[in-house]
Copies of this chain bind each other. A is one copy, B any other.
Amino acid sequence: MPADLDAQFAFLAEADRLKSVYRATTLHDGSRRENTAEHSWHVALYALVLAEQAAPGVNIDRVIRMLLLHDLVEIDTGDVPIHSANGAAHASLETQAAEQRAADRLFGLLPADQAQAFRALWDEFEANETPDARFAKSLDRLPPVMANLASGGGTWVEYAVTYEQLEARVGHKIARGAPGLWDWVQGKTKAWFSARP
């Protein structure tokens, strides 16, 4: 229906703004900060590549759909770096309330049935309880670790993060939905933190 297409293209045009939301994490080569649109592509690719690390029964295509949508709310809220405010800002009640308002507005641009379906998927991701959401949330924590390892420390240096803080804020969350991945990454991060200047 043309009315649906009007709404869908309005949503897709609004989504373009995610390319102008910048995160604390840099590209692997350290040349600039990463934006949330390209992060969303990269983490969806992580899901495709690392699918066999998911728990039995995880539907990777649902995980990919979640990851394509998961950060759209940042169009309104911006990115809240996980290590900012000594780790306290990222999941604050204030941040969560702002994200809920953003989800209302953004998914509300779509035709009603699609708005409901996308919102349900985003709510499921945020709740972090189903196997699909847990794997998606674990994957979402990984690319910044890999970028920091590649770029000489990145946000760990910027925010003076210790290995213990990394393990508490990031490692345990990766391990919850993807223990095999944390096993692999933990070795690399421990080596980096013990050799840090």
Contact = CB atoms under 8 A, between A and B. Distances in A.
A31 B34 CA distance: 16
B16 A147 contact: yes
A68 B44 contact: yes
A165 B151 CA distance: 44
Contacts of A150: 13, 16
Nearest to A9: B146
Interface residues of A, number: 46
A8, A12, A28: most-surrounded residue (chain B CB, <10 A): A12
Given A5-B184, A38-B19, A48 B65 contact: yes
A29 B38 contact: no
A11 interface: yes
Interface in A1-56: 2, 4-5, 8-9, 11-13, 15-20, 27-29, 31, 34-35, 37-38, 40-42, 44-46, 48-50, 52
29 contacts: A2-B184, A4-B52, A5-B180, A5-B181, A5-B184, A8-B49, A9-B146, A9-B184, A12-B45, A12-B46, A13-B28, A13-B146, A13-B150, A15-B45, A16-B27, A16-B150, A17-B29, A18-B41, A19-B34, A20-B27, A20-B31, A38-B38, A40-B41, A41-B41, A44-B68, A48-B68, A48-B69, A49-B110, A61-B65
